Chains A and B, each alone.
Chain A
Amino acid sequence: MTQPRKTNLETEMLVNVRDLAVTFATGGSTINAVNGVDLDLAPRETLCILGESGSGKSVLLRSLMRLNPARRTHVTGSIVVCGHDIQRAPERELADLRGSVVAMVFQEPLTAFDPVFTIGRQISETIMRHEGVSRGDADRRAVELLELVQVPMARQRLAMYPFELSGGLRQRAMIAMALSCRPRLLLADEPTTALDATVQIQIIVLLRRLQQELGMGLILVTHDIGVATETADRVAVMYAGRIVEQSPIAEFVANPLHPYSRGLLGATIEAAKDGNRLKTIMGAPPDLSRLPPGCAFLPRCERAVAECRSVMPSLRSPSVGRAARCVHVERE
Chain B
Amino acid sequence: MLTYILRRVVYALPIALCVSFICFMLIHIAPGDPISAIVPPDAPPDVIQQVRVEYGLDQPLLVQFGIWLSHVMAGDLGRSLATGRPVLVEIRAALGNTVALGLAAAIPGFSFACLIGAIAAWNRGNWLDRAVSGLAVTAVSIPYYWLGIVLVIVFSVHLNWLPAMGAGSAGRGWHFNWNNIQYYILPAITLAVIPIGIVTRTVRGNVSEILSQDFVTTLVAKGLRRRTMLLHVIKNAAPNTITVMGLQFGYLIAGSILVETVFAWPGTGLLLKDAIFQRDIPLLQGIVLVLSIFFVALNLVVDILQTIVDPRIKRHAGR
Q: Which residues of A contact B223 (CB under 8 A)?
A: 94-100, 126, 129-130
Chain B contacts for A164, CB-based, 8 A: 315, 317, 319
B10 at the A/B interface (Cβ < 8 Å)? no
Closest Cβ of chain A to B319, distance in Å, is 6
* Bound complex: CA A67 to CA B317 (Å): 32
Chain A interface residue count, Cβ-Cβ cutoff 8 angstroms = 29
CA distance A100 to B309 in the complex (A): 30
Chain B residue with minimal CB distance to A160?
B315
Q: Once the chains are docked, how many angstroms separate the CA of A114 from the CA of B221? A: 13
What chain B residues lie within 8 Å of A126 (beta carbons)?
222-224
How far is it, in angstroms, between the C-alpha of A175 and the C-alpha of B311 when the chains are bound? 23
- Cβ contact within 8 Å between B315 and A112: no
A116 with B224: in contact, given A106-B214, A164-B317 (CB under 8 Å)? Answer: no
B200-220 CB mask vs A (1 if < 8 Å, else 0) is: 000000000000011101111
Q: Could you tell me if B228 and A114 are in contact, using CB atoms closer than 8 angstroms?
A: no
Q: Among A97, A115, A129, which residue has its beta carbon within 8 angstroms of that of B215?
A: A115
Query: Are the C-beta atoms of B225 and A111 separated by less than 8 Å?
Result: no
Interface membership of A245, Cβ < 8 A = no
Whole-angstrom distance between the Cβ of B194 and the nearest chain A Cβ: 30
Q: Once the chains bind, are A114 and B225 in contact (CB under 8 Å)? A: no
Identify which of residues 149-205 in chain A touch chain B, using a CB-to-CB cut-off of 8 Å: 161, 163-164, 177
- Indicate whether A116 sits within 8 Å of B235 (C-beta atoms), given known contacts A108-B214, A125-B228: yes
> In the complex the two chains form, is A113's CB within 8 Å of B218's CB?
yes
Is residue B236 contacting chain A, with contact meaning CB distance below 8 A?
yes
Q: Chain B contacts of A108 at CB under 8 A?
A: 214
Interface residues on B, range: 20 to 34
B232 is an interface residue with CB less than 8 A from chain A = yes
Q: Mark A99-122, 1 if CB is under 8 A from B, else 0.
A: 110011010100111111110000
Does A79 count as interface, using CB distance less than 8 angstroms?
no
Is A117 within 8 A of B224, CB to CB?
Answer: no
Contact of B232 with A117 in the complex, beta carbons under 8 Å: yes
CA distance A163 to B224 in the complex (A): 22
Any chain A CB within 8 A of the CB of B310?
A: yes
B residues within 8 A CB of A34? none
Task: Determine the chain A residues whose CB is within 8 A of the CB of B220 once the complex forms.
Answer: 67, 98
Task: Answer whether residue B158 sits at the interface, using C-beta atoms and an 8 A cutoff.
Answer: no
B312 at the interface (CB under 8 A from A): yes
| Minimal beta-carbon separation of B126 from chain A (angstroms) | 9
Chain A residues, CB < 8 A from B315:
161, 164
Q: List chain A residues, Cβ under 8 A from B310.
A: 116
Within 8 A of A (CB), among B215-259: 215, 217-225, 228, 232, 235-236
A-B interface, 7 closest residue pairs, ranked by CB to CB distance from nearest: A98-B223, A99-B222, A99-B223, A111-B214, A95-B223, A114-B215, A104-B221
- Excluding A106-B221, A114-B219, A126-B224, 12 further A-B contacts by CB distance (< 8 Å) are A67-B217, A95-B223, A98-B221, A99-B221, A112-B214, A112-B217, A115-B215, A116-B236, A116-B310, A125-B224, A163-B317, A163-B319
- Between-chain CB contacts (< 8 Å), 14 pairs: A94-B223, A99-B224, A100-B223, A106-B218, A112-B215, A112-B217, A115-B236, A116-B309, A116-B310, A117-B232, A125-B224, A126-B222, A126-B223, A161-B315
Q: Residues of A at under 8 Å CB distance from B?
A: 65, 67, 94-100, 103-104, 106, 108, 111-118, 125-126, 129-130, 161, 163-164, 177
